[in-house]
Chains A and B, each alone.
Chain A
Amino acid sequence: MDALVRPLRVALVGNPNSGKTALFNALTGAHQKVANYAGVTVERKEGRVQARSGRSIALLDLPGTYSLRARSPDEEVTRDAVLGRLQGEVAPDVIVAVADATNLRLVLRLILELKAVGRPMVLALNMFDIAERQGLRIDLERLSASLGVPVITTTATRKRGIPELVSAIEAAAAPAWSESSEGQWTAPDAAAIRAAHGRAERIMRDCVRPPERPDTLTGRIDGVLLHPVGGLVILLALLFVMFQAVFAWATPAMDGIEAVFGIVGAGVASVVPDTGPVWPLVQSLIVDGLIAGVGGVLVFLPQIVILFAFIILLEDLGYMARAAFLMDRIMGGAGLHGRAFIPLLSSFACAIPGVMAARVIDAKRDRLTTIMVAPLMTCSARIPVYTLIIAAFIPQQTVWGFANLQGLVMFGLYAAGIVSALAVSFVIRKVLWRGAVEPFMMELPAYKRPDARNVLFNLWTRARIFMERAARIILPLMILVWAASTFPYPPEGASGPAIDYSFAGMAGQALEPLFAPIGFNWQMVVALIPGMAAREVAVAALGTVYAIADAESAGSLLATTLAAQWSLATGLAFLAWYVFAPQCVATLGVVKRELNSWKWMWVMVVYMFALAYLAAFVTYRVAVALGGG
């Protein structure tokens, strides 16, 4: 009886680029839950769908793979989930093999391998609309008979074939399936792979007639995008447009968010009375702590959304693999894998998804190197710090007739991050791996038009994760900063600003000697402490520190205050510090989890702080020597 009540467990397995996630989205809609597998950090995406019979189906979207013979952590999860070996997970009742109908050869071999597991299986021939458009003839009955599994045609992006797939899943689930039976699968050797490939090849010949109108577009596009010189030029131009967009397009939305929070803050300030012993404190907590804190973080949302929109679009289009191809030799010179391009590009938004995306790199050493340098990429949390300091110290003027000086400095900071990441990985490879090289091989998928709904859905997931992080990590820290810079109160008749007497002030003053050689004053050190939580917090903290420290400037812009309080050399040193410093506890936590090693996390902390101190020191001294002190 129990089997009828509990949801049917279904796992989606397929090659990369088979539209598996799109199918998962089409099946489950908004009923998704993203978490991590127990003990490993691979994302666990589960969703629910209701069959017509009323039975609930729990779907698991497993990482794409060519084989159950796992090499990367992602692929290990796929293998262990399919075999029911995963801690805290039960083997699926039904496996749904997802195949790109236009690219069957490799997935047929995977299906033969999956069959050895012995679970009921359904084959979803996805992207069937494209196959039809190409005039690809697939004898479905024969394919189903040859493989011994039901075959359903689907077009995930248009939600075609979804009810049929759900029915097939239900029908495939054997009612008397024994819970405890374990898969018979063992890792195949080269001879077994050859044999299975031969069988897959025969099935292909029997059931699939080559397309009448094969995809020639991909070849023609590749002729341009993979051109040795032209392709690189296009890639650079694309990156340039991307960063322009991040800065230019996000501005109106960011101004809007700031304005809204300003209005809300002023509204609250006018409602909450500011008399008596407690009310001013409550008003300060809500306006300076909560509203300013949330606003200060949400203001990056437009930039993150734009950056991810580009990344998701390029990924869905099939361009990311081309970017990896174009960058492989360039990054290979620095000891990085071509595939590291995607994690490192994601790191421009945030190092956390970047470090996690490094899971696609199956070579252990390359993965470690990529993770170690990913936080050097300029993440969007640095943007507010950079923008603030640039606005304060770099004049708004045009150089060389066309370039904006502020934009140029920003570009320089990005370049500094990229160059140092390449340099560090070069050193890692020379010193730690003694020059060993891991193989680079990957499929270049056919170009596909991205599906708007799917892109928006994935974008929403990213934005949600960011906002949850803001609420869970950054907000409590903002309240902590507010408290640390408010308490204890200054003694009666004190002459200096109130923050001088607070905990934050004390800590800043205690650490000041350490930072004096690089030109930092104690207010900056105070801002760096909560800035460990997340880089952007430092901006809000500087605001708090200076707003409290100097009541005169409370109404003016923070940038104006900083320009008056810091020397140019100090401002530049602060920028240099921010290129390198590992000011993000969340990233360090993810690095520790991903590498399952405290040692490597501390190596990262030490090397990045050392670089930050060195860079700030050199910048400060040079700037002072040139008259910027």
Chain B
Amino acid sequence: MSTVISLSDARLGDRGVITRVKPGGTDAHAAELERRLLELGLIEGARVQLLHNGLFGRDPMALQVDDMRVALRRHEAANLTVELFAEAAE
């Protein structure tokens, strides 16, 4: 059994696989954001884990993305969908 959430709703320690990278909207801004996320390795199939949260509003978030670490604001993380690993598998 698996749960699909928006990365912006992730909680500390959550692990999963990115299933969708799609910024809302169809304007140039959304297209640019999508490419930037991809170039930083935030891409479908990448394994992510939420490592740390910032102090205020749990923002920004520090993620493990495959074998590197990336800092991201929750505002941008809302464009990513993650399928969480089942707890039992952990």
* Cα A134 to Cα B59 with chains together (Å): 32
- Answer yes or no: A370 CB below 8 A from chain B CBs: no
A119 to chain B, nearest CB (A): 21
Does B60 contact A193, Cβ atoms closer than 8 Å? no
A227 to chain B, nearest CB (A): 7
Which of A332, A445, A446 is most buried by chain B, counting CB atoms within 10 A of its CB? A332
* Cα A332 to Cα B40 with chains together (Å): 21
Q: Which of B's residues lie within 8 Å of A, judged by CB? A: 31, 33-45, 51-57, 59-60, 62, 66-73, 75-76
* Cα A441 to Cα B41 with chains together (Å): 11
Which of B44, B52, B62 is most buried by chain A, counting CB atoms within 10 A of its CB? B52
* Cα A232 to Cα B56 with chains together (Å): 11
- Answer yes or no: A109 CB below 8 A from chain B CBs: yes
Stretch at the interface among A173-181, A218-226, A470-478, A620-628: A218-226
Q: Other than the known A190-B35, A193-B39, A214-B67, what 10 A-B pairs have Cβ atoms closer than 8 Å?
A: A189-B31, A210-B67, A226-B52, A228-B53, A328-B73, A338-B71, A439-B76, A440-B60, A441-B72, A444-B62
Does A194 contact B54, Cβ atoms closer than 8 Å? no
Stretch at the interface among A34-42, A263-271, A318-326, A409-417: A318-326
Chain A residues within an 8 Å CB radius of B53: 228
- Answer yes or no: A66 CB below 8 A from chain B CBs: yes
A566 to chain B, nearest CB (A): 44
Q: Mark A76-88, 1 if CB is under 8 A from B, else 0.
A: 0000000000000
State the 4 A-B residue pairs at the shortest beta-carbon distance, nearest first.
Answer: A444-B69, A228-B55, A226-B52, A329-B56
Q: Known interface pairs A103-B68, A197-B43. Does A440 touch B76 (Cβ–Cβ under 8 Å)?
A: yes
- Of the four ranges (under 10, 10 to 19, 20 to 34, 35 or more), the interface on chain A belongs to 35 or more
Does B51 contact A219, Cβ atoms closer than 8 Å? yes
Does A329 contact B35, Cβ atoms closer than 8 Å? no
Does A443 contact B67, Cβ atoms closer than 8 Å? no
Main secondary structure on chain B at its contact with chain A?
mixed
- Answer yes or no: A442 CB below 8 A from chain B CBs: yes
* Cα A497 to Cα B41 with chains together (Å): 70
Which of A105, A210, A218, A444 is most buried by chain B, counting CB atoms within 10 A of its CB? A444
* Cα A67 to Cα B38 with chains together (Å): 10
Q: Mark A191-227, 1 if CB is under 8 A from B, else 0.
A: 0011001000100000000100010001100110011
6 residue pairs bridging A and B, Cβ less than 8 Å apart: A106-B41, A106-B68, A109-B39, A197-B41, A328-B71, A446-B69
Partner of A222, one of B44, B55, B69, B75: B69
Chain B residues within an 8 Å CB radius of A592: none
Q: Known interface pairs A197-B38, A226-B52. Does A439 touch B73 (Cβ–Cβ under 8 Å)?
A: yes
Chain B residues within an 8 Å CB radius of A69: 35, 39
- Answer yes or no: A564 CB below 8 A from chain B CBs: no
Chain A residues within an 8 Å CB radius of B76: 439-441
Does B39 contact A226, Cβ atoms closer than 8 Å? no
- Answer yes or no: A403 CB below 8 A from chain B CBs: no
Partner of B71, one of A197, A223, A232, A321: A321
Chain B residues within an 8 Å CB radius of A232: 55
Q: Mark A101-112, 1 if CB is under 8 A from B, else 0.
A: 001011001000
* Cα A328 to Cα B53 with chains together (Å): 11
* Cα A228 to Cα B59 with chains together (Å): 10
* Cα A441 to Cα B59 with chains together (Å): 12
Partner of B60, one of A188, A190, A338, A445: A338
Chain A residues within an 8 Å CB radius of B54: 228, 325-326, 328-329
Specify the chain A residue showing the minimal Cβ separation from B22. A190
- Answer yes or no: A229 CB below 8 A from chain B CBs: yes
Does A443 contact B39, Cβ atoms closer than 8 Å? no
Q: Known interface pairs A69-B35, A194-B43, A226-B62. Does A443 touch B69 (Cβ–Cβ under 8 Å)?
A: yes
* Cα A440 to Cα B41 with chains together (Å): 15
Chain B residues within an 8 Å CB radius of A66: 39-40
* Cα A252 to Cα B37 with chains together (Å): 50
* Cα A215 to Cα B83 with chains together (Å): 26
* Cα A333 to Cα B54 with chains together (Å): 13
* Cα A222 to Cα B53 with chains together (Å): 11
Does A194 contact B44, Cβ atoms closer than 8 Å? yes
Does A441 contact B73, Cβ atoms closer than 8 Å? yes
Chain B residues within an 8 Å CB radius of A193: 35, 38-39
